[in-house]
Copies of this chain bind each other. A is one copy, B any other.
């Protein structure tokens, strides 16, 4: 199956290349009768867009979403919601130097070999620009799930970690700093780190933690479509992601059953939550939390060896306007993908009641 659709009953299909006419998508399965808050959608896009601060890429793209269908007088009609975001800042000439070149740790080589052709401008379809469409759809999904709270934040940059448990954080602080870490002290360290890395023409990885609260009990469709399995797939489908863990995660693999088991309270909640809000693939009503690992951006502003299409190793100099660390801009993308998964399972859960 071609892989450009996500979800079963709340389904997003995206299209578009970084430097084509436009990127866009179709949300099929959004319930009718939802009065959309368009500002909230554009706000999410603005969180993701380039040029917001000095620690992200300096490309300027307005990233304005235009809705083409599925909405009548501001209200969803149950028909598919088509939308586009025009590509206005396509400096295609920026990329002519990579036309016949495969950059290391980019998708240039695999796209070329798989498809026999690639739109090399700005990474084409493999560009993270595509995630803007996910953010639009996720912003709609958030409105479907208006009681569920979805909060992602930067939990590490390089070796700087936010160690505090999420319960001790004030999520309202996340948006007020450039790195989107809700602890100002750690945020400052992260920002300094990214600036330092940027000065060196280098890039750095990091992790995003995401907390889902007020998720109703019962979401998830075992045995294959377990809630955490689809959350994992959603996150792993985001550019640059290398790992996903939920609840106790990799730490849980070191623990004993007697430590790890979450004992019940009489109301069905649990005293601890190492399970991460999901049992047997089904939400149990407790907070869901997970962590996502992002590798450092592959484009560095340094000399590097690349492969050309004739099989020669050639030196190339990274150019253009790139993110020194992808994590700050990944926050709204992680939230959007989480929202898409939750909306899908939330609607599905109505079927079998």
Identify the A interface with B (CB < 8 A): 1-6, 8-9, 11, 13-17, 20-24, 26, 28-29, 31-33, 66-70, 72, 75, 77-82, 84, 102, 104-107, 109-111, 113-119, 124-126, 130, 156, 158-159, 197, 202-207, 217-218, 220-226, 228-230, 232-234, 236-237, 239, 242-250, 252-268, 270, 274-276, 278-284, 293-300, 302, 304-307, 311-313, 347-353
Give chain B nearest CB distance to A67 CB in angstroms.
8
Shortest Cβ distance from A66 into B: residue: B21
Q: List 5 A-B contacts (CB under 8 A).
A: A113-B268, A125-B222, A252-B296, A258-B300, A350-B350
Give chain B nearest CB distance to A290 CB in angstroms.
9
A187 to B80, CA, bound (A): 39
Q: How many copies does the complex hold?
A: 4
- Are B29 and A2 in contact, CB atoms less than 8 angstroms apart? yes
Give chain B nearest CB distance to A324 CB in angstroms.
9
- Are B109 and A279 in contact, CB atoms less than 8 angstroms apart? yes
A-B residue pairs, 6 tightest by C-beta? A107-B280, A3-B225, A3-B221, A243-B245, A15-B82, A2-B29
- Are A263 and B305 in contact, CB atoms less than 8 angstroms apart? yes
A252 to B327, CA, bound (A): 13
Give chain B nearest CB distance to A97 CB in angstroms.
16
Give the chain B neighbours of A260 by CB distance below 8 A: 105, 205, 295-296, 298
A279 to B206, CA, bound (A): 19
- Are B256 and A296 in contact, CB atoms less than 8 angstroms apart? yes
- Are A2 and B6 in contact, CB atoms less than 8 angstroms apart? no
A280 to B352, CA, bound (A): 26
- Are B224 and A237 in contact, CB atoms less than 8 angstroms apart? yes
- Are A28 and B16 in contact, CB atoms less than 8 angstroms apart? no
